Amino acid sequence: MNSKDFYGINFPMNIAKTHKILKKYYNSQRFQEICVLNTFQGIEEIAGQKTKIKVQNAGLNKIHNYFPVEHLPFLQNFLEKKLNNIIFSQIYMVAKKNLKIKNNFYIDKSLNIRIHYPFEVEKKSKLTRQIYRSINLNNFKEAEKEMIKAKKKSLSYILDNNDKSKIEYFNTINESVCLHSPHRDTWFGHSTEGINLWWAITPAREHNGLMLFKDVYKFNLEHEIRPAYVKNKYNLGKTTIPNVEAGELLIFDPEILHASRLNTSDDTRIVISGRINEKKPKFYGYSKENKEPFWLFSEDVKNKIFNKEFIFKREKKNIVKIKKNKLKNKIKSINLKVKLLPKNKYKLCQTKLIKNLKKVEINFENFKIGLIKKNSKFYAFNRICPHLKFNLLNTEGEKNHVICPGHGLKFNYLNGNSTCKKFKIKTYQVLTQKGNCYLKT
């Protein structure tokens, strides 16, 4: 693989366009132990010793059975405070020892510790963004009271534009669900030429992991203004979800389009992520997301100096022009000026028009249908994902399944079922008669 990215910079380990899992890295076992121990300590401080013992017995990946979803922001905040400097030092050592970065570099000060409960548990959370904004996350000993207090005063809390656009995008936002739709980190205001370090503290696998869309690397994709997720109109190709076991470290190029898998497993995913830049951070210009301009310098971190910040803001002088390729993988659409009604039969088109295609979009006035061909036969289904409305034709599916480009739900297009009880799609019969193709409802 070519180790040069499209800015002409060499990445260590050929990280451009790729990802790697490090099973072992500098001090890996100890680092994992520290993260786990601190998580247990946080659970005890917030929810008491009994809860901690239950989670210890069941395993950290089963925390959702014992620790209330509404209290997760307190735990995340606790961990960020306790672990920040430890993580910075760890990033420094991994960069030197494992990524073999020779020169000085920068470490992004905005770390992330994210805890994703299984969707079925998460969706019951009553933690709205208003309540979340109103609580004092440091008051974890009084977490319950803090939430009740916040609920009462929440209506007076004024949300900022970021909050409002998120609520609009997700319909509602429940703060524990930190699900990301496909994005590049530069769209969210992070630097170009970065390297992401992503530690799985509990396993992140097929049904709760990180989705990568490598086929559209370098392609010109538009994104929403805020939140800066990809517009729902591109065929994103094949999806990859790396299996990252507890304690393993995933390194990836943040310019690969990536998203969170809707957690349909029975395991909580706990992830710590950080970012380094080998050169002075530069930025992509069209982000309207908040700036995160604070960086640490590698030599300072080496000397345990964590309070000396370097500020690199997104501004004219450090905006990078990114050359991108045009995406040409449009799926054929057929528009019908009728409404799709039950117990009806509709002529779609002449069979010869679509017989060489693998996928077709059929737009009725009230429904958007997808056709997929398998063994010379077409199968029809509602192609709009019932989760957040991404087009289910827009990735490469597998074995009788379409995979949602939004957050990876898999739907069987023969019977409409997905791996999540809550989400199903309607399927239809396709008939070919006398040279024409029909849809039966």
What is the contact surface with Fe ion in residues (CB under 5 A)?
Answer: 185
Task: Considering the complex, state which of residue 185 and residue 278 has its C-beta at the smaller distance from Fe ion.
Answer: 185
Does position 383 interact with ligand FES (CB under 6 A)? The reply is no
Task: Considering the complex, state which of residue 15 and residue 369 has its C-beta at the smaller distance from Fe ion.
Answer: 15
Least Cβ distance, residue 112 to ligand FES (angstroms): 20
Does position 406 interact with ligand FES (CB under 6 A)? The reply is yes
Q: Are 351 and 435 in contact (CB under 8 A)?
A: yes
Q: H or E stretch including 51?
A: helix 49-58
Does position 404 interact with ligand FES (CB under 6 A)? The reply is yes
Residue 185 touches which member of Fe ion, ligand FES, none, C-beta under 5-8 Å by kind? Fe ion
Does position 262 interact with ligand FES (CB under 6 A)? The reply is yes
Rounded-to-integer distance, Cα 286 and Cα 284, Å? 6
Q: Are 138 and 52 in contact (CB under 8 A)?
A: no
Does position 230 interact with ligand FES (CB under 6 A)? The reply is no
Amino acid at 313: K
Whether omega before 118 lies within 30 degrees of 0, making that bond cis, reads no
Task: Considering the complex, state which of residue 12 and residue 416 has its C-beta at the smaller distance from ligand FES.
Answer: 416
Does position 378 interact with ligand FES (CB under 6 A)? The reply is no
Rounded-to-integer distance, Cα 36 and Cα 202, Å? 9
Rounded-to-integer distance, Cα 325 and Cα 219, Å? 5
| DSSP secondary structure of 405-438 | TTT--EEETTT-BBSSTT-B--EEEEEEETTEEE
Query: 294 forms bridges with which residues in the sheet?
Result: 311
Task: Considering the complex, state which of residue 385 and residue 430 has its C-beta at the smaller distance from ligand FES.
Answer: 385
Residue 230 touches which member of ligand FES, Fe ion, none, C-beta under 5-8 Å by kind? none
Q: Which stretch binds ligand FES (CB under 6 A): 64-72, 75-83, 158-166, 386-394?
A: 386-394
Residue in 107, 147, 372, 385 binding ligand FES, rule: CB under 6 A: 385
Does position 411 interact with ligand FES (CB under 6 A)? The reply is no
How many Cβ atoms from other residues are within 10 Å of residue 290's Cβ?
A: 13
- Residue 180 structure tokens: 């990301």
Residue 384 touches which member of Fe ion, ligand FES, none, C-beta under 5-8 Å by kind? none
Least Cβ distance, residue 385 to ligand FES (angstroms): 3
**Total number of residues that touch ligand FES (CB under 6 A):** 9
Q: Are 83 and 26 in contact (CB under 8 A)?
A: no
Least Cβ distance, residue 196 to Fe ion (angstroms): 7
Amino acid at 396: E
Rounded-to-integer distance, Cα 159 and Cα 41, Å? 32
Does position 211 interact with ligand FES (CB under 6 A)? The reply is no
Residue in 263, 227, 331 with CA at minimum distance from that of residue 72: 263
Residue in 63, 69, 212, 388 binding ligand FES, rule: CB under 6 A: 388
Residue in 409, 430, 437, 439 binding ligand FES, rule: CB under 6 A: 409
Contact residues toward ligand FES (CB under 6 A) are: 262, 385, 387-388, 390, 404, 406-407, 409
